[in-house]
């Protein structure tokens, strides 16, 4: 449970990303035993956990080796996609939602329901997992 909370804590995206919860669930399922055995005492943020698993690759099961890389890759893609929303939707955030690109997440509900949002912005919102 702590692992799921730790991996979902970073601020929350690309067309083929998985949610933070799905990535954490995959990691817990495939690597739970290895994390318990080899990473005891590690502060469970995504970077430190990835470092610990990388250092202990010789003790990881084949399933864990493949899934932990896939999980952390998915998390990085989701973070990048969320950051891309501000660029893809800059015009809509300001003109249609009267918001600020510095606080994009506050404009997401407006962007998701307002007519006239560009195709690029809509795709960025979908890739980021906001819908």
My answer on whether 76 and 98 are in the same domain is: no
Separation between Cα atoms, residue 26 and residue 58, nearest integer Å? 20
Chain length of the chain: 131
Contact in structure between 10 and 79 (CB atoms under 8 Å)? yes
pLDDT of residue 79: 86
Separation between Cα atoms, residue 31 and residue 37, nearest integer Å? 10
* pLDDT tens by residue, 100-123: 888 888 999 999 999 999 999 999
My answer on whether 32 and 20 are in the same domain is: yes
Choice between 5 and 115, residue whose per-residue pLDDT is larger? 115
Question: What backbone phi and psi angles, to 5 degrees, belong to 99?
Answer: -110, -170
* pLDDT tens by residue, 41-54: 877 677 888 899 99
My answer on whether 100 and 50 are in the same domain is: no
Choice between 131 and 92, residue whose per-residue pLDDT is larger? 92
My answer on whether 79 and 94 are in the same domain is: no
pTM here is 0.66
- The angle subtended at Cα 73 by Cα 69 and Cα 76, nearest 5°, is 145
Among the candidates 66, 83, 100, a domain finishes at 83
My answer on whether 18 and 66 are in the same domain is: yes
**How many structural domains are present in the chain?**
2
- What is the span of the domain harbouring residue 21? 2-83
Question: What backbone phi and psi angles, to 5 degrees, belong to 118?
Answer: -65, 160
Separation between Cα atoms, residue 130 and residue 80, nearest integer Å? 13
My answer on whether 93 and 73 are in the same domain is: no
Mean residue pLDDT of the chain comes to 83
My answer on whether 48 and 65 are in the same domain is: yes
């Amino acid at each position: 449970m702590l692992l799921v909370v730790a991996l979902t804590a970073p601020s929350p995206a690309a067309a083929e990303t998985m949610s933070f919860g799905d990535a954490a669930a995959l990691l817990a399922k495939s690597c739970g035993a290895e994390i318990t055995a080899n990473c005891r005492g590690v502060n469970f943020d995504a970077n430190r956990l990835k470092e610990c698993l990388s250092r202990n690759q010789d003790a990881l099961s084949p399933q864990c080796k493949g899934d932990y890389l896939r999980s952390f890759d998915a998390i990085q893609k989701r973070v990048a996609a969320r950051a891309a929303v501000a660029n893809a939707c800059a015009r809509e955030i300001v003109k249609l939602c009267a918001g600020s690109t510095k606080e994009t997440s506050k404009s997401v509900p407006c962007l998701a329901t307002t007519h006239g949002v560009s195709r690029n912005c809509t795709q960025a919102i979908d890739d980021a997992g906001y819908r």
